[in-house]
Amino acid sequence: MLTGARHGIRQPFEPPLDEAQLRELRRRCFDAIRAEPVAWLAHRLRVSAALFGAHGADWPRGLIYEDGEYAYGDNPPVPANAGALHRTLMHLAGRRASLAWLAAWPWLLLGLVALPRAWRQQPIGVAALALAASAWSYALPMCVLAASVQLRYVGRSCAASLLAAAAAFAPRTVRAARLEPNDLQGMPMATVQRYIFTIDDLPKARGESHELSFQGGSAESFAALLQQALRDPVLWQRWKAMQPDPDAVDPGLGASDPTATVEAHQSDVHVSVDVRSSLPHAVIKHRMTLLVGKHWSLRDVSAA
């Protein structure tokens, strides 16, 4: 319809525009905006409202989405989706196109609602924040750039926002805390090892869970708390009880060493921690993380 119009609107991809045609197209586009800025702004506001909002029940389906397969340029052809699930989804979309679930704003809003939880859910919260930022960084420019109100312009943003919410509200997992074979190689339980850790800013070093975290500010209080956590499994037992499936937690993480010793020396806000224990590195690492999160570094391991 458009390519056969009186003024000869052409296909945007075939054949491709040369550099001179692109310059002329840009010039005319910006000239039109400068000539009628109010009309252009009003037009973009209407497009944005239709792009992110619900669609009218009387709108042609082609203004919302296209159910078809298209091969642009030299891309290989895509086989048609003739499955029963696809037909059912297209039937529902056609009958419910005017409802909010087919609008972009609820899905984008879902990602924003999940941001406070994502901020507290570290480290998975970083992925949720990145997905939400990606969703909005892609969606907002469409207020100016979208050529129509079809869902394809904001579909990727809706998908990213949905993934952000899923990551933010995902249950905590304990699989990453399981002992790995490499953690035990060369470190039998009977061998006492000396571990040197550093904590850059002890007053600000806190664990993910407030109930389990170190709350003090001195090196001596931290050394006493870590030594107690290594000598008996109480801290680990409290952490285990907080997991969605306590029975799935690796019991190897609950090992304890009644003879473990911890010394800590403070210089300004930096703390050096000297641990001597027969516990595997993975167990000590887990107890350290419960107390001060990821705010520590392992500097040296040697025989005691």
pLDDT band at 15 (very low <50, low <70, confident <90, very high): low
Q: Does residue 37 have a pLDDT over 70?
A: yes
Rounded to whole angstroms, the Cα distance separating 50 from 83 reads 30
Rounded to whole angstroms, the Cα distance separating 164 from 171 reads 14
Torsion of CA 97, 99, 105, 108, to 10 degrees: -80
Q: Tell me the average pLDDT across 110-139.
A: 82
Look at residue 299 and give its three-state secondary structure.
strand
Q: What is the pLDDT of residue 73?
A: 67
Domain boundaries of the chain, sorted by first residue: 19-53+103-168, 176-303
Per-residue pLDDT tens digits for 178-201: 444 444 444 444 589 999 999 988
Q: What is the pLDDT of residue 173?
A: 44
Per-residue pLDDT tens digits for 84-97: 998 888 777 766 65
Q: Does residue 150 have a pLDDT over 50?
A: yes
Q: Does residue 203 have a pLDDT over 60?
A: yes
First to last CA, the chain: 83
Written as six digits, the tokens of 124 are 């998975």
Choose between 261 and 67: higher pLDDT: 261
Rounded to whole angstroms, the Cα distance separating 186 from 145 reads 60
Q: Does residue 120 have a pLDDT over 80?
A: no
Rounded to whole angstroms, the Cα distance separating 259 from 276 reads 9
Q: pTM (2 decimals)? A: 0.47
- CB under 8 Å to 201, separation ≥6 — which residues? 269, 270, 295
Comparing 38-42, 63-67, 264-268, 283-287, the range with the smallest average pLDDT is 63-67
Q: What is the pLDDT of residue 188?
A: 46
